[in-house]
Amino acid sequence: MIYNDLALFTTVANHLSFSAAAEQLGIPLSRVSRRIAELEEHLGAKLFERTTRQVRLTEEGRRLLDRCQDPIEALQGVAGFAEDTRRQVIRITAPPLAARKTVGPRLMDFAEQHPDVEFELTTTNLFLDFFQDNIDLAFRVGPLTDSTLVARKLWSVDYCFCASTKFIADRGLRNTLSRKDFLALPALVAGQAWVLDTGETLQPKQIAHSFGDLDVIRQAVQRNLGVALLPRDMVSGDIQPLEIDSATPLTRDMFAVYPSRRLLPVRVRKLIDHMASG
């Protein structure tokens, strides 16, 4: 029956292991492989990429899992044969700084409240692919450009231009700098454009260093290596905000991003609600 094969498919997909699914269900590994192959043939789509060491869902497999997992789990609960105590995995990606400062602590709060959930967190400033990289949920700082994804705003991040106290004193910088004078200074960049609240983009003339981690940029600012654009809550102590004439940085928003609202698993929806309420 197609229902049984879909139930088997969700078990393999949740474990990302044919052998673990066979062990859980108490059936031979060869039968699991054969039935998944028959399901793929019936649907006309490849659901898993298989190597000797790894099993990964294809894009079609991810879409099928999103579509059938919740109904299958509900039917199993009604039937009373799902006494499965496995932990539910949520695969997440987030920028390194957000993972340390905001996203990470809120994930831990959720984990304490939901001991049946297991997180797999990848920290990177790159935009990973939901299907190729097997990601359930991404936390990304806007503005966002991919209109095919669903994005829910979580909170705002206020930014400011800044430099170290010593850098400011050594160069005799005034309270308010002209754009021309500011853009001539050595700049520390993080791969993102310096976007203003007007929508304009500032282009530094002299990029001293480019670092992918805002913590590293903050350390570079402290070492008097240049000016930077940082979240305002990172600017304190020996780092001071810089006022630039008619140039206020854009306030950026943190979003929870996912491929489809309609196919969103219940556990991911609960996590997004938790993050938005924090």
Q: What is the pLDDT along the chain (278 residues), one digit of tens a residue?
A: 566 778 788 888 878 888 888 887 788 888 888 888 888 888 888 888 877 677 888 888 888 887 776 665 555 554 444 444 456 788 999 988 889 889 999 999 999 998 888 899 998 888 888 877 878 899 998 877 777 788 899 999 999 999 999 999 999 988 789 999 999 999 999 877 899 999 899 999 999 999 988 899 999 999 999 999 999 989 999 999 999 999 999 998 999 998 765 556 778 888 999 998 86
132: left (phi over 0), alpha (psi -120 to 50) or beta: alpha
As a whole number of Å, the end-to-end CA separation of the chain is 44
Same domain, yes or no, for 144 and 167?
no
Model pLDDT, residue 1: 53
Contact 39, 6 (CB under 8 A): yes
Question: Which residue in the block uniquely carries the two structure tokens 């520390």?
Answer: 188
In this structure, are 121 and 185 located in the same domain? no
Please state the domain count of the chain.
3
Q: Do residues 243 and 232 touch, judged by C-beta distance below 8 A?
A: no
Q: Are 194 and 179 in contact (CB under 8 A)?
A: no
CB atoms within 10 A of CB 1: 6
User: Are 227 and 271 members of one domain?
Assistant: no
What is the spatial distance between Cα 52 and Cα 46, in angstroms, rounded to a whole number? 17
Q: What is the CATH number of the domain that holds 142?
A: 3.40.190.10
**Which residue in 276, 269, 228, 236 sits closest to 254, CA to CA?**
276
Question: Do 35 and 107 belong to one domain?
Answer: no
* Domain span including residue 103: 88-150+254-277
Asked if residue 170 and residue 237 are part of one domain, the reply reads yes
Specify whether 100 is located in the same domain as 146.
Answer: yes
Q: How far apart are the C-alpha atoms of 214 and 33, rounded to whole Å?
A: 46
pTM of this structure: 0.62
Query: Which string of DSSP letters, residue by residue, matches 226-252?
Result: -EEEEEGGG--TTEEE-EETT-PBPPE
